[in-house]
Structures are given as C-alpha cells and as structure tokens.
Amino acid sequence: MEPLSSYFFSKFQHPTNIPFPSTAANHLLTPLRPPRISPLNFSSVRNEERPQESETITIQPLRKVTKCTGQLSTKRSSIQGTELVETRLKPSLFTFIFNSLDRFIAEFLDPPLRPSIDPKYVLSGNFARVDELSPTESEVIQGYLPSCLDGAYIRNGPNPQFIPCGPYHLFDGDGMLHSIRISQGKATFCSRYVETYKYMVERRIGSPVFPNLFSAFNCLAASLVRCAVTAARVLTGQFNPINGIGLANTSLALFGGNLFALGESDLPYAVKVTSEGDIITLGRHDSFGKPFSTMTAHPKIDSDTGEAFAFRYSSTMPPFLTFFRISANGIKQKDVPIFSMKKASFIHDFALTKNYAIFPETQIGMNLSEIIKGRSPMGVDPNKVPRLGFIPRYAEDESEMWWIDVPGLTILHVINAWEEDDGNTIVLVAPNVSPVEHIFDNMDMIHFSLEKITVDIKAETVSRHPVSTKSLEFGVINSAYLRKKNKYVYAAIGAPMPRAAGVVKVDLTLSAETECGGCVVASRLYGTGCYGSEPFFVPREPNNPEVEEDDGYVVTYVHNENSNQSSFLVMDAKSPSLDIVAVVKLPGRVPYGFHGLFVPESDLNKL
C-alpha cells in the first residue's frame, strides 16, 4: 500500500549510496540463499492420467546476507557476473538507541490504540504470525487431486517478521507466500517470506526498522518523532529507501516470463517455485528506471497479446495516477500520467476491456491534517464524488480520457469488464463497498454488494444492478474470460473480510429482482468456526476452447478455528452445492490473507 511511501522516503538519501545491482539477465538471477529442500515422502493418493522464448525482464537481485558476526563491514563479490553487496552487522549503539526510541514512542506518545491498529487484536487467532515452513509432505485426507491441478496454488498475505512495537495494521505485515505444489495427485506444502529489501534489512538487524505506513502515523507527537527516528535510521545507514520499502504482501501475477509477488508500495518481486515445492525470491523488478517507483498489486494480463497493463498512484503530489503497460517480453512501455485526477485517491484495482482501461476514483485518500486529530491520514472525503475514468488501452497521453461521476460507488476490486453493442456499452462487475468510512477501521460494518454496472459511452450514463444481497468480495472468474463477456463469478462470503464463511457461484445472466436468492446458483459454507480465503477457479481443460465456462474446480485454503487446522479445499465448480473433490490436510497453519494464483506445471517449468 502506498499512502506515505513515495513522498516521505524521497526526502531522505543515504549519504554514501551503497552500490546496488540494477540489471541482471534472467539466467543470472541469484537466490538469496541456496534452495531449502527437505526429503519428501508423499502419501499414496488416487491419481489420474496426466494429460516462445521471450526477451528477459530486468530483475534487481537483493543483497546477499550472511550471518551477523561482527562490526559493520561491506565487501563485494561477483556471482555469475552479477555484483552483490555482502553486509555484516551486529547490534550497534545506533540500533539500541533507535529501538529504545521506538519503545518510548509506543509507551508514552501513542494514543490508546484502536482495535484496528492494536497488535493484540490484529494478530489474534488465525491472524497471528507463523514461521516459515520448508516443503513438507501433505496428506490428501478426502477425495483425489485432479490432474489439471498439477502445478502450484500460491496465496499471498501479511505476516510480520517481528512482533510489532506499537501500532500495527493488517496491511502492514511482511508478505508471506503459502504454496501447495501438486504433482500426479501428490501434494507438498511450503510457507516462505517474500525476501524484500525491507525483510532482509530487518532480518539482518534483528528488529523492525521500517515504519508501519498504515498505522504508525496516528497522532502528531508520535508521528513527528517516528519521522525523526526513521530519518536517523536512513542517515546512519541502517537502510536506503531507494532500494524499496515495500512488503509484497498482496497478490501474485504471471507476466513477462516471470512470477511476481506484488504490493503497491513497491515494485514487483520475482519468485520461483521449485520442483521440490520450495519458494525462492529471485529479486526486485528494476526496469522502471525511476527511484521510488511503484506498481499496482492488480495488473491485468491480456492472454491474447501477453501484455500486462498496470498503474501506480501517488498520495501526495501529481500526477496522482499513472497508467502504463508492459510488453509480452517484459519491457515496460511509456508512462501515461493522468493529470485530470485532481486529488489523491486510493485506487487499488482497475478494469480492462478490449479497448479501454477503467479506473475507479474513490472517496478514500490521504489527509495529513488527520494526524493532528489522532487519526490515520488514510480516510474518506465525504465531499468528493466517486468517478469512473476511461482511457484507451494504447493511449499516448490522457487527451482521450473522460470521467463519469457515479455517486455512492466505491470499488476496491474489479472482477471483470467487457464491451457490448459494438463497443458503445461497457459492463463492469465489481463489489461496491458500503459504508466506505469504516474500510480501514471496522470491517464488521462493511458490506460488499456485488454489482453489474452498465455504462452507456455515448450518453455517458451509468446504471447499477446488485446481483445478490450477500456480502461478497474476492470474486474471481475463469481467467480465459478476462475482458470478455462471462456468465459465472465465484466469490467469498464475508465473515467479515478477509475471513470468508464460504463461497458462492453467481450467474450474471439472471435478474436479482426476479430470482429467488438473487443470482446465486450454488454455494458452500465451510462450517461453524471454519473460514477460508479468496477462492480461485482452475479450468479442467485450459487449452480446450469448446468446454463450458464453469467446467473446472474452485480451490482455496480453509482454517478450522476449533481444531487450529488448515486445509486445502478443492470443489467442483459445476455442481449445485460446489461438491468437495479433495481435502488436503496441511502441515502448517495458513493465516487469513489476501490474493492467490494457480500456476500450471507448464508455466512453472518456464520460470
């Protein structure tokens, strides 16, 4: 998330900028440590029959870190032609002073913490942090794993490396990937941190160094002192913000020949899932050519062209929105700054059709004056009217962009969008958040109303049609239908989010006003005390265009809070009750988190 990062950290530069590699060919990517592989003894389960080269994307390898042994020292080594910096630290006087100041701020300057930023509440139950888990055999305790699931399902989410000292918001956690590697009906589970620059710096020092951007700035006195401490950490060389401050804790995406872990406060981090099921962080995407650059956690990949369309937003200075695309071979194209967005807005996701990119400008933004009142700078402007912005996909500038006011519409996630009537109509499918003022503080009060939004381009009018009375978020479709008219949506039932009490299947061709139960045609509740995450649809025959849209499986992680046991659940996407096809008992707990991705075996082999 990007509320303060680009502005705040751009004010500080390390006095002696430590050299940091900026480019590396894909075949020269050097992992931070050797692959961590454990012997695998798979359980016996039912099996089924197993049914262009591109230009290299630029990756910035992270620093190679060795065990802390003594005083500060820096040496360089050349590994496969790529220069890495090897830094060794032991707890210093500066570290002791800064950590003491952090404790002083938390104890004496912070106001009483709201539950939404109090780690005692935020990190309770299945939101509590977990340690990394090496690849471990996982037992299929019910059913079988279909052959189309050969590959890896990976879910991202926040998991702080250290117990926070002071305020902490769920969005502030370090990214951790929970992967289940499936091959010939056998499963291997693994949990690994995304080894971001932030994660590696704090692991080396042994304590938190970077401020929690969503929670640390909640009153004037504490905010000013935290800013001073952070500046001092930079000036004394504890970290260099030009190398990135992001968490990579939000989602995953596959484009440009790489698998990326994403978080919108930084650039993407390339990761790899090995044949043994381990997860390795390869490095930070570094082809943008601008310090302090960021990218959305929700790029849209056009399966026909292989391009990825993306954006970044700024909370402090124009342009508040910048649109760009990445070619099929991983090369970032020209920025299109959007100056017609006059105020900063929290734009987390966007939509893509055959001809347009669509941006939902919301009432959510940053107001630094709120810090004086003891509140988070992230808040809601009730006087701002939400809008939808439309720009051609291949626009050279914003001259062809136009906006339509849509009062009461707050979109955080977009499920799909397509064009009808020879391109004169755009249909957008997305949950509307209400009441928006509680989005960061009290998810219990939030309702996600899944809507079908129709835009008449010529008349510049918008009509909205709710498709269910349930609170539905984290919606997904068969990815082959992205940008195209689709029929089915699979969405999580909020309990509240990011916990999901179950999953539903929605038929967008039905009328919510006339159909009993709205447009929901199938559902499954996980049971008392059992909650899941975002569902994901995996087609049964991904390369067969003749199969029906819903011919496949819905997968997700589910946690039983009664037994403290996490499982991987596979459901039949066509059945009226989303019948269970397989349950895999996981050897480690999976905390509630954000977005996931299934990567087929064929794509894993190309990474």
Residue positions forming the annotated binding site for Fe cation: 298, 348, 413, 595
Q: What is the largest CA-CA distance in the chain?
A: 72
Cα gap 567→457, rounded to integer Å: 46
- Strand 530-532, strand 552-560: pairing: antiparallel
Q: In 22-72, at which residue ranges do the beta strands (DSSP E only) sit?
A: 59-60, 64-65
Cα gap 156→136, rounded to integer Å: 18
The alpha carbon torsion through 274, 279, 281, 282 (nearest 10 deg) reads: 10
Task: Please work out, in degrees rounded to the nearest 5, the angle formed at the alpha carbon of residue 58 by the alpha carbons of 293 and 195.
Answer: 70
Q: Can you say which residues are annotated as belonging to the binding site?
A: 298, 348, 413, 595
599: three-class secondary structure by DSSP: strand
CA-closest candidate to residue 361, choices 405, 396, 322: 405
Kindly provide the b/e burial profile for residues 338-372, where b requires at least 16 CB atoms within 10 angstroms of the residue's own CB: bebbeebbbbbbbbbbeebbbbbbbbbbbbeebbe
**DSSP code for 113:** P
502: three-class secondary structure by DSSP: strand
Q: Which amino acid is at 62?
A: L
The tokens describing 473, both together, are: 């978020």
Taking a C-beta distance cutoff of 8 angstroms, is the pair 502, 524 a contact? yes
Taking a C-beta distance cutoff of 8 angstroms, is the pair 198, 174 a contact? yes
Residue 447: how many other CB atoms lie within 10 Å:
17
Taking a C-beta distance cutoff of 8 angstroms, is the pair 338, 397 a contact? no
Q: Which amino acid is at 545?
A: P
CA-closest candidate to residue 490, choices 510, 473, 468: 473
| 3-state SS track over 338-373 | ECCCCCCCCCCCCEECCCEEEEEECCEEECHHHHHH
Pinpoint the alpha helices (H) of 448-547: none
**DSSP code for 116:** G
The tokens describing 592, both together, are: 């509630």
Residue 404: how many other CB atoms lie within 10 Å:
17
Q: In 90-150, at which residue ranges do the beta strands (DSSP E only) sit?
A: 133-143
Q: Which residues pair with 432 in a beta bridge?
A: 411, 449
Beta-carbon contacts of residue 253 (< 8 Å; ≥ 6 apart) = 259, 260, 262, 268, 299, 301, 308, 597
Cα gap 315→275, rounded to integer Å: 41
Taking a C-beta distance cutoff of 8 angstroms, is the pair 224, 297 a contact? no
